Amino acid sequence: MSIRGLGKKVAVIGAGYVGASITYALVVARIAQEIVLIDLPSNLKKSQAEINDIRHGIPLMGSSNIYSGTYADINDCDLIIITAGRNRRPDETRLELAKDNVVIAKNVTDEMKKHYNKGVILVVANPVDILTRKISEWMALKPGTVFGTGCVLDCSRLSNILAEVVDLPVDIINTTIIGEHGEGQVVLWSKSLVGGLQIDEYCESVGIQFDENAKQTAEQRVLQMGMEIIKGKGRTHYGTASCVCYIANAILNHHSTIACVSSVFSGEYGIDKVAMSLPSVITSNGIERRFVDKLSNNELNKLKETAKKLDKSYTDF
């Protein structure tokens, strides 16, 4: 049951692999003090079993108060994480999930609105850009209160790929991917850094060949990585959970950060109402601001084409 007054309260909606992994990661990382895992009443045994399994390790790895609850427990949350939805099937695009997951997201939002009184809403379920826009419209909260994980995981995957290229630790690699979490993502190579140096400059200085073909190969690897994991094990969830923890830490512990997350555009690059990723300042209030950097003609055209595609897809649901 809920313990009033703990603070740093999180609700995770959806007790599947992603929701359970996020709950576990939040506990182990000691980011939240109170976590409620919410699912359909028909799935109560599953959510309670996940809580019991996680709780058994708390004495050594964490001290969060975690419990299986209902939508009524959303009251007074600082962060609400929406994972509810079915997973991608092998060879299925994220947009092909939309027909089913928009319906699920609408049901989740309707239940959430009955009890919501505060808190940032983080959308994790796919297609994250479509669902972020839908839930933002349905909730009608202050801009930046609802946003999605967007391209955070894509940036992490690209950083891992580039760490292999330069044979250096991944934590000194910094990458920026904007646009869709999917086929329409745009890698900003001018902002891909190795220890603070732009990657082209670094590779040239140490004699590593990293030309346009190598960049295109890296981009394709990022796009294919999620599906490769799904084909291998049926789902992705650990990478998502760690990215969510990174965002949650900024919100719950006032460790403001910048990440490429998805939110509804309001005129950036001449794009309006479509949700896509941009580098954004994340604080306890959600997104405080989005950065609009100068793009090349190719980058800008691809971003605008992606926006048109997402907008067209959005009207289909």
| 52 assigned to some structural domain | yes
Contact 179, 277 (CB under 8 A): yes
Question: What's the whole-number average pLDDT of the chain?
Answer: 92
Q: Name the domain count of the chain.
A: 1
pLDDT computed for residue 6 by the predictor:
44
Whether 115 is covered by a domain: the verdict is: yes
Report the alpha-carbon distance of residue 26 to residue 5 in Å, rounded. 19
CATH of the domain at 32: 3.40.50.720
Mark whether 181 is an active-site residue.
Answer: yes
Q: Which of 181, 237, 254, 255 is labelled catalytic? A: 181
How many beta carbons lie within 10 A of that of residue 3, not counting itself? Answer: 10
* Cβ–Cβ < 8 Å for 94, 115: no
Indicate whether 240 belongs to any domain: no
Asked if residue 277 has pLDDT above 70, the reply is: yes
Q: For the chain, give the percent of residues with pLDDT over 90.
A: 80
Segments forming the whole domain that contains residue 51: 9-148
Q: What pLDDT sits at residue 65?
A: 92
Answer whether residue 1 shows pLDDT above 50: no
pLDDT band per the 50, 70, 90 thresholds, residue 3 = very low
Establish if 44 belongs to a structural domain. Answer: yes
Three-state secondary structure string covering 115-147: CCCCCEEEECCCCHHHHHHHHHHHHCCCCCCEE
Reply yes or no on whether the pLDDT at 316 is more than 80.
no
CA distance 255 to 31: 11
The secondary structure of residue 282, as a DSSP letter, is: E
Confidence of residue 94 (pLDDT cuts 50, 70, 90): low
Q: What is the pLDDT of residue 7?
A: 55
117 belongs to a structural domain: yes
Distance in angstroms (rounded) separating the CA atoms of residues 179 and 302: 9
Give the mean model confidence (pLDDT) for residues 31-57: 91
The pLDDT tens digits of the residues spanning 197-245 come to 999 999 999 999 999 999 999 999 999 998 889 889 888 899 999 999 9
Q: Which of 50-59, 70-79, 209-218, 244-253 has the lowest mean pLDDT?
A: 50-59
CA count, 13 A, side-chain hemisphere, 108: 28
**Average pLDDT for residues 79-101, to the nearest whole number?**
83
Cα separation, 137 vs 287, whole angstroms: 16
Asked whether residue 169 is assigned to any structural domain, the reply reads: no
- 247 belongs to a structural domain: no
CA 191 to chain centre: 20
pLDDT the model gives residue 5: 40
Q: What is the pLDDT of residue 89?
A: 75
Does a structural domain hold residue 89? yes
